[in-house]
Amino acid sequence: MLKKLISFYILLILSFSINSSFANNNEFNIWVKKFKSQAVKSGVSQNIADEVMSNAIFLPKVIEYDRFQPEFYEDTLTYIEKRTNKKKIKKGLVLYKKEKLIIDRIEKEFLIEKELLLSLMGIETNFGNYLGKMDIVSSLATLSFDKRRSEFFTKELIILLKLVDQKIIDKKILFGSWAGAFGNFQFMPRTIRNYAIDYNKNSTIELKKTEDSFASAANYLNKIGWKKNIPCFIKIDLNKSIPNKFLNSSAKKIKNKKKVKYFKKYIKNYNDLKIDKNLVAAIITPDIDIIPGANTYTPAYLVFANYEKVLNWNRSLRFALAVCTLKNSFKNEI
């Protein structure tokens, strides 16, 4: 009896999920039709809208990834350690050795440290090893169809169609991450439109190749105001007397910035900090709000203007810490 009951429930669940995915597909196709007319209205040619969207499918996996991103649940030190280990440093050095001429040239031209470029590429795609195999038109279409962040992803998808329409990006190579990011440095379509460049001047932007991808990343960092040879963050030990208002735990906006010397009485290792004490900084304690029961005061960091530039790239406190940590490791090796 129990067995029968169980199989009945399994059948019920199966038929429910088949029905709901059928309903989803049907609704998705209706959405594609609407989306295409919206894209055409905003300047995409009918041909390209039809052609690119003809193979778009609803990807349930993308919704799963969107709802559960494991890195949200890691503590900061684990997060950083995983992304900046010795293996990664070694791999980055191999790439640098191979592409030294190009990378050095780009560093000089855009005033962006090669160590930062290597670090970003290492963290985004493990130096081009994890470029993602998702059809990003379908990823972006799925996230646009989904209600959670529909407006944002619809705009991204329209930008992508325009890039294809203008022959800036080849539609045959549109494979990337589940969230629609693309190439060695995981650019979203808007980033491609605003900052990517055809550095080797062969009339197409190839973000999976060294020249165009490094130059585009360097151009992006330069345009958003990264300043070469200025620190990004420094780890500190906080006194518990620090008022809560100074503890930033959200990447959306870094608040309560002061000169480093203002924080002197709140920092146990103040005298050991080898930085200009007149730099403007803020304090972040990234584990609050993420890890239940996290110790409020550790880990803690002073972060500077450059740190916020990395947040422009990807709005995650821990991402920016990992990027600057790996950058510092490269600095010791190159």
- Nearest residue to 307 (alpha-carbon basis) of 237, 196, 227, 216: 227
Q: Which is nearer to Ca ion, 200 or 296 (CB)?
A: 200
Q: Which of 15, 37, 202, 256 binds Ca ion (CB under 5 A)?
A: 202
CA distance 131 to 124: 8
200 binds Ca ion (CB under 5 A): yes
Q: Which is nearer to Ca ion, 113 or 206 (CB)?
A: 206
The alpha-carbon radius of gyration of the chain (Å, integer) is 23
Question: Interacting stretch for Ca ion, rule CB under 5 A, among 199-207, 216-224, 252-260, 263-271?
Answer: 199-207
Question: Interacting stretch for Ca ion, rule CB under 5 A, among 73-81, 164-172, 212-220, 287-295?
Answer: 212-220
Q: Which of 107, 212, 287, 308 binds Ca ion (CB under 5 A)?
A: 212
Between strands 247-248 and 280-284, the pairing is parallel
Buried-exposed string 170-182: b where 16+ CB fall within 10 A, e elsewhere: ebeebebbbbbbb
| Helix axis angle, 100-110 to 210-224, nearest 10° | 20
Tokens 């989306």 belong to residue:
35
295 binds Ca ion (CB under 5 A): no
Q: Which is nearer to Ca ion, 113 or 211 (CB)?
A: 211
Q: Which is nearer to Ca ion, 85 or 202 (CB)?
A: 202
Size of the site for Ca ion (CB under 5 A): 5
Q: Which residues pair with 187 in a beta bridge?
A: 182
Q: Would you state the structure tokens that stand for residue 329, as one six-digit string?
A: 């490791």
User: Shortest gap between Cβ of 197 and Ca ion (angstroms)?
Assistant: 8
Q: Which is nearer to Ca ion, 71 or 198 (CB)?
A: 198
168 binds Ca ion (CB under 5 A): no
Residue 233 φ/ψ, nearest 5 degrees: -155, 165
Residue numbers at the binding site for Ca ion (CB under 5 A): 198, 200, 202, 206, 212
